[in-house]
Structure 1
Amino acid sequence: MSSGELLQIHPQELQFPFELRKQISCSLQLSNKSDNYIAFKVKTTNPKKYCVRPNNGVVLPRSTCDITVTMQGQKEAPPDMQCKDKFLLQSVVASPGATAKDITPEMFNKESGYEVDECKLRVVYVAPPQPPSPVREGSDEESSPRASVSENGHSSAVQFQASKAFNERVEPKDTSFQARTLISKVTEERNSVIEQNKRLQQELDLLRRAAKQSRGGIPLMYVIIVG
């Protein structure tokens, strides 16, 4: 907190969590520890870039005043995230019972005879806050079969182990049965092919013998009839 002669300012610098194309706001708090009415006015080196509400007013004795500074959305980030913008907060003792309507530009002009207190504030860009990482609803231990208990009072881990052992006993049998069925089917198909080959071979032999007889001379039946 900066302690001036008239007002205490917190924080001493304007910190904006910079994000492109997004309006960003930060706050200042002015504290009046005296018994006087203190008038204030806020100026900036870049008035088109910032909106200050309120940009002037009166802080009552022993009270505070909050100021909101809004930075317009920026199309590009500055080099090295360094900002050269500055703010100037001027304060002066006002007459008792003064309000914001009683503030005039001459009150902050030192040449007019007023004792003006000035405090310079710099602008700082900071990294935007990161969203919290998602938290799992249950831990690994809670989701583990060993940690859960079934309604009948037996650990589900026992059921899990029993089921696993049953599957280990059954699966090899199922696999062996499928293998035997496949082997039997292949064997039957092979035997069928062998039988077909035998029949074809026999028919081929008959055709060969018939062909030899037709080339060997006059058929025996013809000789008997003629004789």
Structure 2
Amino acid sequence: MITTELLDVQPNELQFTFEVKKHSTCSIQLGNRSDQYVAFKVKTTSPKKYCVRPNAGIIKPKETCDFTVTMQAQKVAPPDLQCKDKFLIQCTVIPFGTSEEDVTSDMFAKDSGKYIEEKKLRVVLTSPPHSPVFLPVNGESKQDLCYETSVQKDTLNGVENIPPPQRVADDIEGFESYKDMDESKAVKHVEELKPENNAVVLNLAKDFEELKSKLNTVDLKLKEADLTIIKLTEEKSMTTREMNMLKHELELLRKKNNMRRIMVGFPLLYACVVALMSIAIGGYFIHP
């Protein structure tokens, strides 16, 4: 019976910096507090909205494992940045030698009779840091608040120095004109980069063609070398066969010469022996 928690989850919530039409990512660390191998699986109430890598795995005893959650770009911000999405982390003890390919959803079924530990994480959305000039405070912008504060300060000093509304409008129009100017510069910069990009593409195509021709040349040389090797191998085998045939013929000639010598020497010896025997027999009969 397991009495202690298997995993230590840090942090205990998923915090995303929310920006419209932009991805946001956060990481969660899982620590194995037990002395056994633990398998985990991550689930969410909005699977099409989030991407989890890895969404399942194995953690060795007393070690940690991180997984990353990416929130897909959203077209509209939720009201008051309130999110009801939740994540569920399931874990269970597995035997030694289990591979990550063996970690399936059936392993975390509650009706399997195994101990399944579950931890729920909520999603928290935060707004990105912005310039404090246009942030609303009680329905009014901080720009208006600073304007009123300066008016009050001047009034208390006995000097009323209120800038005309036309000046504020000019400042706003100036801000918008700067924005348009930045966009025009960006467009101009992109247009200037297009010829450079085309030149780079042409250079890459030229280099590719040169490399392709060099590879074809090397391929032809390799084929010629293969043909030369084949020819030399055939010539070597033919030379070896001819040498073997010459050796065989030489051995036959040697055997024939030896046979001739034997045939020539045998009759002479035979005649000498017969002559000696005749002389011996004739002397015996002459001198009884």
Q: TM-score, normalised by structure 2?
A: 0.43
Q: Which residue of 1 aligns with 2:95?
A: 95
Percent identity reads: 59
Separation in structure 1 between the aligned mates of residue 30 and residue 78 of structure 2, nearest angstrom:
29
1:123 paired with 2:123, answer: yes
In structure 2, stretches of 5+ residues that fail to align are: 132-288
Partner SS for 2:70: strand
Q: Which residue of 2 aligns with 1:80?
A: 80
Partner SS for 2:128: coil
Equivalent AA in structure 2 for residue 56 of structure 1: A
Separation in structure 2 between the aligned mates of residue 98 and residue 108 of structure 1, nearest angstrom:
14
Equivalent AA in structure 2 for residue 41 of structure 1: K
Separation in structure 2 between the aligned mates of residue 48 and residue 129 of structure 1, nearest angstrom:
27
Partner SS for 2:75: coil
Deviation at 1:31, TM superposition (A): 0.3
Equivalent AA in structure 2 for residue 127 of structure 1: S
Q: Using CA pairs below 8 Å that are at least 6 residues apart, which structure has the higher relative contact order?
A: 1
Deviation at 1:129, TM superposition (A): 4.2
What CA deviation, in whole Å up to 9, does each residue of 1:137-165 have, x standing for no partner? xxxxxxxxxxxxxxxxxxxxxxxxxxxxx
Q: Which residue of 2 aligns with 1:136?
A: none
Equivalent AA in structure 1 for residue 40 of structure 2: F
Task: Point out 4+ residue stretches in structure 1 off by more than 4 angstroms.
Answer: none
What CA deviation, in whole Å up to 9, does each residue of 1:94-138 have, x standing for no partner? 11132211212221001011110000000000122459xxxxxxx
The answer to whether the Cα contact below 8 Å between 2:39 and 2:94 also exists between their aligned partners in 1 is yes
Matches within 5 A, 1:1-227: 5-129=5-129
The answer to whether the Cα contact below 8 Å between 2:5 and 2:33 also exists between their aligned partners in 1 is no
* Structure with the bigger percentage of strand: 1
Separation in structure 1 between the aligned mates of residue 74 and residue 56 of structure 2, nearest angstrom:
26
Equivalent AA in structure 1 for residue 8 of structure 2: Q
CA RMSD across the alignment: 1.4
Q: How many residues align?
A: 128
Separation in structure 2 between the aligned mates of residue 112 and residue 33 of structure 1, nearest angstrom:
23
Separation in structure 2 between the aligned mates of residue 72 and residue 127 of structure 1, nearest angstrom:
16
Equivalent AA in structure 2 for residue 34 of structure 1: S
Separation in structure 2 between the aligned mates of residue 121 and residue 88 of structure 1, nearest angstrom:
6
Separation in structure 2 between the aligned mates of residue 38 and residue 84 of structure 1, nearest angstrom:
29
Equivalent AA in structure 1 for residue 94 of structure 2: A
Partner SS for 1:67: strand
* Structure with the bigger percentage of helix: 2
Q: Which residue of 1 aligns with 2:262?
A: none
